[in-house]
């Protein structure tokens, strides 16, 4: 017999009939269900991740990252939410513009995720989908949010889209500090690593130039 938490939506019930659901418990005591485990890189503490998330209360989507849009010409696409795993909620850098392979997009204000998302994402793999039961103290507290009443428990659905390990974050932060866009930042990090290697070779192997 399958136990179903009363806060899970009917959509989740349909999904759970088709997939093996992995049940887990975070260090904070939050119960989560991995509907899809994913096969990509793992989100570790300190990693920067991009996700889509939906906060569902009694089958109503009250808060969703899919409502935040990227605008470019006539194209409108959902903007993933980016944050650092294990970071203090609300401390992310506000992004008025977002780099994309097709150019720079202007972005609308991102919706506010519940504090639980900053920790419960740890351990997920890219491509994974996790459902979490969020109590008020790890959610929107006594203020509530949109259709979520004050002091309410709700369901949080997370889809992990991308993971950037901590060491890559350092390269990007250095490049962004020099006013470079994200694609240029990646090229900058590669160039800097190559330059450092060349300097080392010049000091240790001065005859390399004669080869």
Give the pLDDT confidence of 156-192 residue by residue, as tens digits.
999 999 999 876 655 555 544 555 444 444 443 444 4
Which of 68-77, 82-91, 101-110, 136-145 shows the highest mean pLDDT? 136-145
Mean residue pLDDT of the chain comes to 72
Q: pTM for the full model?
A: 0.64
Q: Looking at residue 2, what is its pLDDT?
A: 41
Q: Looking at residue 72, what is its pLDDT?
A: 55
Given a contact cutoff of 8 angstroms between Cβ atoms, the answer to whether 55 and 7 are in contact is no
**Better pLDDT: 208 or 94:** 94
């Amino acid at each position: 017999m399958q136990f179903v938490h009363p806060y899970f939506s009917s959509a989740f019930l349909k999904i759970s009939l088709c997939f093996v659901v992995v049940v887990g418990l975070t260090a904070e005591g939050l119960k989560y269900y991995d509907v899809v485990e994913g096969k990509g890189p793992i989100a570790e503490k300190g990693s920067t991740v991009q996700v889509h998330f939906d906060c569902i209360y009694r089958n109503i989507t009250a808060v969703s990252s899919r409502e935040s849009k990227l605008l470019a010409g006539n194209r409108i696409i959902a903007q993933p939410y980016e944050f650092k795993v294990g970071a203090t909620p609300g401390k992310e850098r506000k992004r008025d513009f977002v780099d994309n392979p097709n150019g720079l997009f202007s972005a609308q204000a991102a919706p506010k995720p519940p504090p639980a998302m900053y920790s419960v994402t740890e351990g997920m793999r890219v491509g994974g989908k996790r459902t979490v039961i969020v109590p008020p103290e790890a959610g929107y507290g006594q203020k509530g949010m949109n259709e979520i009443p004050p002091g309410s428990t709700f369901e949080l659905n997370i889809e992990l889209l991308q993971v950037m390990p901590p060491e890559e974050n350092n390269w990007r932060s250095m490049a962004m500090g020099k006013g470079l866009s994200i694609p240029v930042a990646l090229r900058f990090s590669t160039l800097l690593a190559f330059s450092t290697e060349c300097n080392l070779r010049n000091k240790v192997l001065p005859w390399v130039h004669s080869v």
